[in-house]
Amino acid sequence: DIQMTQYPSSLSASIGDRVTITCRASQSISRSLNWYHQKPGKAPELLIYAASSLQSGVPSRFSGSGSGTDFTLTITSLQPEDFAAYYCQQSFILPLTFGGGTKVEIK
Amino acid sequence: EVQVLESGGGLVQPGGSLRLSCAASGFTFNNYAMNWVRQAPGKGPEWVSGISGGGDSTYYADSVKGRFTISRDKSKNTLYLQMNTLRAEDTAVYYCAKDSGSSSFDTFDIWGQGTMVTVSS
């Protein structure tokens, strides 16, 4: 199985900050990488697919980049509704696997 | 509105069985693969199983292979997960998730609200 490692596991940031989350795959997955966020008590929601494509309806302050084994999710100006957990997920091969998550908290 | 709605969760004893359902609406059900994804308390999501749009291909995580069965009913626009020989480690919120494609399993673009399954004596 492909292991997905995210870091940091948590971070504290302020409104308006630029935030970057990293995801590393245990082997090359081309650009088969998705990002989700999840608010407490809610289901995950798709933000970015295929490494850098913005899901319909997702604000443009979210962006993704990377290929191969290293990927990043960037939030250019953190908003109150962005405080949540973020997960990467590889879609290269079954079983589909998720990273351990990054919790973004208010500083 | 595109949505999926799970039901059927609950408390079950170890070794018991449970069947989850997921009612889909707002999209052509037969055109999309569907998945079950679970999330144990305090943990990240874990993909459990997927079924192609036509229902002819099914896949499972090793952790549930031989115990869980995924199926779909085109006439009812409903996805199912039959869970047998349940273990304590199966305790989780189970989400139904629509895939973005028909025969590939890759991107979960619509999720339900989840249904809690607790395996305990």
pLDDT digits (tens, 9 = 90+) for B2-31: 999 999 999 999 999 999 999 999 999 999
Enter the tokens of residue B88: 């304590």
Cβ contact, residue pair A99, B105, below 8 Å: no
Enter the tokens of residue B3: 């949505």
Distance from CA of B75 to the nearest CA of A (A): 27
| Alpha carbon separation from B54 to A65, B51, B57, B106 (Å, rounded) | 33, 8, 8, 16
Which residues in chain B land under pLDDT 50?
none
| Percentage of chain A exceeding pLDDT 90 | 98
The 8 Å CB, 24+ separation contacts for A53-57 are A55/B109
Strand A70-75 to strand A19-25: parallel, antiparallel, or no bridges (unpaired)? antiparallel
Cβ contact, residue pair A95, B47, below 8 Å: yes
CB contacts of A49 in chain B (<8 Å) are: 100, 107, 109
At residue B40, the pLDDT reads: 97
CB contacts of A46 in chain B (<8 Å) are: 107-109
At residue B106, the pLDDT reads: 86
**pLDDT tens digits for A37-88?**
999 999 999 999 999 999 999 999 999 999 999 999 999 999 999 999 999 9
Q: How far apart are CA B39 and CA A38, in angstroms?
A: 12
DSSP, collapsed to helix, strand or coil, labels residue B12 as strand
Q: How far apart are CA B9 and CA B95, in angstroms?
A: 11
Cβ contact, residue pair B108, A98, below 8 Å: no
Enter the tokens of residue A83: 């405080």
